[in-house]
Amino acid sequence: MATLQNSLPLTKPKANRKVNSGAIITRAVVYGILILGCLYTLVPFLWMILTSFKTATEMIKLPPTIFPEHFTVQSYKAIFTDPHVPLARFYTNSIIVSVAIVFMVLFTSSLAGFVFAKYRFWGKDFFFTMILATMMIPFQVLMIPAYLILVKLGLVDNLMGLIVPSATSAFGIFLMRQFVESIPSELIDAARIDGSSEFGIYARIVLPQMGAALATLGIFQFMGTWNDYLWPLIVITSTEKRTLPIMLSWYSSQHGARADLTMAASILVIIPVLITYFIFQRWVVRGIALTGFK
Amino acid sequence: MSTATPKRSGLFRKQHTFVGSTLTPVMLYMMFFTFIPMIWGIAITFFHYSPTRLGGFLGFGGENPFAGLANYADLFADNPNGQLFRLSLGNTLIFSLLYLPLNLIITVPLAVLIESINLKMKVVFRTIYFLPVVTSAVAVSLVWGVIYNPTFGLLNALLQRFGISGMAWLSDPSKFVLGIPVAMLCVLVAYLWSDMGYNLVIFIAGLQGIPDVYREAAVMDGANAWQRFWFVTLPLLQSTMTFVTVMTMLSSWQVFVIFYILTGKGGPSNLTRTLVLHIYETAFRYQEMGLAATVAVVLFIIIMITTLLQLRFMRKEWEY
């Protein structure tokens, strides 16, 4: 962050007046490119929003319009009142699955991360390497046998089938271990001398200090689970157990020619994640930087 | 760590009980959903396996007979299974080989530009560029499907305004650019849109980690902005670059949703059918799990080899 304030004066050579116009041009070019990139990023979102407010008749008009001629919310109304689309049910399913997975992952990751960071025991490095190794296995290799396991457990076409295999996270344990290592061991020893149990140390000393880490992991897990498609596609077969992304692809296969409807449905599906992202934007970015950087 | 702990055996026993009672269930759980499926997944590659047929223990044997290496031989055979596999492999290869450079060419300069402006605007740009990453892949596929649509799509509407006649971007199997199907290029553009914010954020973090002294020294030596980027920033970014290259390659081999929805299960004429799509269709549409698992194992081996090669070629012998 300080990089820029420090380096800008340095880029200004001695002949100040001469370079000023050059610096302005450079800055204009930089902003020009960045704004061009933003257009690429934002146009599909705008198109999604604009299309969702068009009327059904406008959709089949030639040549196609860019801005809606008559702003209307009839596509949203159509989705909300469609008896074949129990939207509240789909939202509930997505929320149940996401919230359950987030809480279980936060609990198991923080506990295992704490153990790996602050205890010495036989086989510690071996077990930790095993956990990291599971991150290397692509999901596509596991999905067929994992499905067969669910068949044996009787969890196919059941929300539990989405939750149970995701209760632990190798990435989560890795992230939590990194965070717990920065908590001073003296604090833990002090609690131990005061007679706290080991679980008490975890619950009362370690957890309260991990707010930022838990938020980061929780948001990641929430967004990943909410948007997950392939696994629910395999596990869920009946209508009333669908999560939102499955509902969305099914809905678009029913109303493929009605872009006004599919775009409105898309907006309804992505809004909870976008809101979460805007609120917790800093944590999201920090989390990625942490995992990606060294 | 526990060096400050008084060496009383009671305390140690308490700690060991805690470690054992917490870690054992977590480890067993993880193994149950990773290593067991892994072994099972390899085992069924040697069987003609379908959960819909009756078999013996875990479905092996009975109507799911042992097949030896037949599933592996099928990948090279001159039958529909083999042809579809090789077609999917080729498409996945084209996609991942094009996607990695495309992504880097755009995200590295963008990250440098974003890093060079003031903090407030930096956050604004970063927030915008990251938006598609948190958007559901299904919604991404649907909106790009609407953009590419030949009748009511935005792309053709814009082209018509400039007097250029549009085309069926995703469904015309006869259109190629430099030997690459137009539909594949369309998927690349859409996937880049949904994914580039991720690498961008990592590169920005990487740039912030480079100590200022190196760029300052380069300025002292009279290097211009381009030279500073090419000879100082880029080489110092290598550890980030290695990470990003490996991760992007890994994930581009595993892209599924956009090929499943945007191009309608790998269309036109299977020109965008990828390995993961092939695995999914074979396993869950045609219920040929033995064959699908074989393709999955091959995919795993390819990914492993690619990753190891990348790590080997990008090893660096310095640290700052």
Q: Which helix (H) or strand (E) holds A288?
A: helix A281-292
Of A293 and B179, more confident = B179
Residues B179, B292, single domain; the answer is yes
Q: Which helix (H) or strand (E) holds B181?
A: strand B180-181
**Encoding tokens for residue B236?**
């110092």
Mean pLDDT of B196-213: 86
* B114-169 pLDDT per residue, tens: 988 888 888 888 889 999 999 999 999 999 998 898 888 888 888 888 888 778 88
| Cα–Cα dist B147/B160, whole Å | 14
Candidate from A170, A192, A292 with C-beta closest to B30: A170
pTM: 0.87
Please judge whether B40 and A145 are an interchain contact, meaning their C-beta atoms are less than 8 angstroms apart: yes
What residue has token string 């927030």? B127
pLDDT for res B218: 85
pLDDT for res A292: 54
| Cα–Cα dist B78/B95, whole Å | 24
Q: Is the complex ipTM higher than 0.85?
A: yes
Residues B6, B124, single domain; the answer is no
To the nearest 10 degrees (0 to 180), the angle between helices A259-279 and A281-292 is 80
Q: What is the DSSP letter of B283?
A: I
Query: In this complex, is the C-beta atom of B119 within 8 Å of any C-beta atom belonging to chain A?
Result: yes
Tell me the chain B residues in contact with residue A198 when contact means C-beta distances shorter than 8 Å. Answer: 14-15, 17-18
Candidate from A42, A259, A289 with C-beta closest to B202: A289
Please judge whether B198 and A1 are an interchain contact, meaning their C-beta atoms are less than 8 angstroms apart: no
Task: Give a yes or no: residue B146 inside a domain.
Answer: yes
Give the start-to-end residue ranges of the domains of chain A. Answer: 14-79, 84-292
Q: In which band, very low, low, confident or very high, does the pLDDT at B5 lie, cut at 50, 70 and 90?
A: very low
Single residue among B29, B59, B76 that ends a domain in this structure: B76
Task: Give a yes or no: residue B270 inside a domain.
Answer: yes
Sequential DSSP letters for A85-105: --HHHHHHHHHHHHHHHHHHH
Residues B61, B143, single domain; the answer is no
* B157-178 pLDDT per residue, tens: 888 888 887 788 888 777 778 8
- Find the closest chain A residue to B132 by CA distance: A41
Chain B neighbours among A 87-106 (CB < 8 Å)? none
Q: How many CB pairs under 8 A join A and B?
A: 306
Contact partners, residue B183, CB within 8 Å, separation at least 6: B169, B170, B171, B172, B173, B175, B263, B267, B268, B271, B272
Sequential DSSP letters for A146-212: HHHHHHHHT-TTSHHHHHGGGS--HHHHHHHHHHHHTS-HHHHHHHHHTT--HHHIIIIIIGGGGHH
Residues B127, B3, single domain; the answer is no
Task: Give a yes or no: residue B210 inside a domain.
Answer: yes
Q: In which band, very low, low, confident or very high, does the pLDDT at A28 lie, cut at 50, 70 and 90?
A: confident
Task: Give a yes or no: residue B319 inside a domain.
Answer: no
Dihedral, CA of residue B148, residue B150, residue B155 and residue B160, to nearest 10? 170
Substitution target from A6, A30, A34, A221 for chain B, most B beta carbons within 10 A = A34
| Cα–Cα dist A13/A19, whole Å | 8
CATH architecture of A84-292: Orthogonal Bundle (1.10)
Residues B150, B166, single domain; the answer is yes
Tell me the chain A residues in contact with residue B58 when contact means C-beta distances shorter than 8 Å. Answer: 148, 152
Strand partners of residue B176: B181
* B249-277 pLDDT per residue, tens: 988 999 999 999 988 888 788 888 999 99
Helix (H, G, I), strand (E, B) or coil at A228: coil
Least Cα separation, residue A138 to chain B (angstroms): 7
Single-letter residue type at B167: M
Please judge whether A51 and B146 are an interchain contact, meaning their C-beta atoms are less than 8 angstroms apart: yes
* B44-82 pLDDT per residue, tens: 999 888 877 777 677 777 777 788 888 898 888 888 888
Please judge whether A197 and B5 are an interchain contact, meaning their C-beta atoms are less than 8 angstroms apart: no
Residues B54, B193, single domain; the answer is no
Least Cα separation, residue A131 to chain B (angstroms): 8
Of B18 and B318, more confident = B18
pLDDT for res B296: 93
Nearest to B15 by CA among A205, A118, A173, A207: A118
CATH number at residue B190: 1.10.3720.10
Domain, as residue range, for B55 = 47-76
Query: In this complex, is the C-beta atom of A39 within 8 Å of any C-beta atom belonging to chain B?
Result: no
- Between the alpha carbon of residue B37 and those of residues A140, B44, B290, B301, the distances in Å are 11, 10, 13, 16
Q: Which helix (H) or strand (E) holds A217?
A: helix A211-227
| Cα–Cα dist B229/B134, whole Å | 30
Residues B244, B266, single domain; the answer is yes
Residues B91, B103, single domain; the answer is yes
Q: In which band, very low, low, confident or very high, does the pLDDT at A3 lie, cut at 50, 70 and 90?
A: very low
Q: Which helix (H) or strand (E) holds B180?
A: strand B180-181
Contact B167, B175 (CB under 8 A): yes
Candidate from B51, B136, B296 with C-beta closest to A227: B136
- Find the closest chain B residue to A285 by CA distance: B201
Candidate from A44, A185, A281 with C-beta closest to B144: A44
* A173-222 pLDDT per residue, tens: 988 998 898 888 898 889 888 888 888 999 988 999 888 889 888 988 89
Least Cα separation, residue A114 to chain B (angstroms): 10
Residues B217, B105, single domain; the answer is yes
Helix (H, G, I), strand (E, B) or coil at B320: coil
Tell me the chain A residues in contact with residue B154 when contact means C-beta distances shorter than 8 Å. Answer: 43, 47, 64, 66
Task: Give a yes or no: residue B318 inside a domain.
Answer: no
pLDDT for res A19: 56
Least Cα separation, residue A146 to chain B (angstroms): 6
Averaged confidence pLDDT in chain B: 86
Residues B11, B138, single domain; the answer is no
Query: In this complex, is the C-beta atom of B116 within 8 Å of any C-beta atom belonging to chain A?
Result: yes
Q: In which band, very low, low, confident or very high, does the pLDDT at B318 lie, cut at 50, 70 and 90?
A: low
DSSP H stretches of helix in chain B = 9-43, 70-76, 80-115, 119-130, 137-148, 154-161, 182-208, 212-220, 225-227, 234-236, 238-252, 257-261, 275-280, 289-313
Tell me the chain A residues in contact with residue B59 when contact means C-beta distances shorter than 8 Å. Answer: 148
| Preceding omega of A44 cis (within 30 degrees of 0) | no
Task: Give a yes or no: residue B42 inside a domain.
Answer: no
Task: Give a yes or no: residue B53 inside a domain.
Answer: yes
- Find the closest chain B residue to A265 by CA distance: B139
Chain B neighbours among A 151-190 (CB < 8 Å)? 151-152, 165, 167-168, 170, 173, 185-186, 189
Rounded (5°) CA angle A122-A128-A134: 140
Residues B55, B87, single domain; the answer is no
Chain B neighbours among A 241-270 (CB < 8 Å)? 244-245, 248-249, 252, 259, 262-263, 266-267, 269-270
Candidate from B44, B109, B205 with C-beta closest to A293: B205
| Cα–Cα dist A17/A22, whole Å | 10
Substitution target from B85, B143, B159, B259 for chain A, most A beta carbons within 10 A = B143
* A97-155 pLDDT per residue, tens: 999 999 999 999 999 999 999 888 888 899 999 888 888 888 888 999 999 889 888 99
Residues B195, B288, single domain; the answer is yes
Q: In which band, very low, low, confident or very high, does the pLDDT at B87 lie, cut at 50, 70 and 90?
A: very high
Task: Give a yes or no: residue B260 inside a domain.
Answer: yes
Nearest to A263 by CA among B136, B37, B2, B310: B136
Q: What is the DSSP letter of B173?
A: T
Number of domains in chain B: 3
Tell me the chain A residues in contact with residue B14 when contact means C-beta distances shorter than 8 Å. Answer: 197-198
Query: In this complex, is the C-beta atom of A63 within 8 Å of any C-beta atom belonging to chain B?
Result: yes
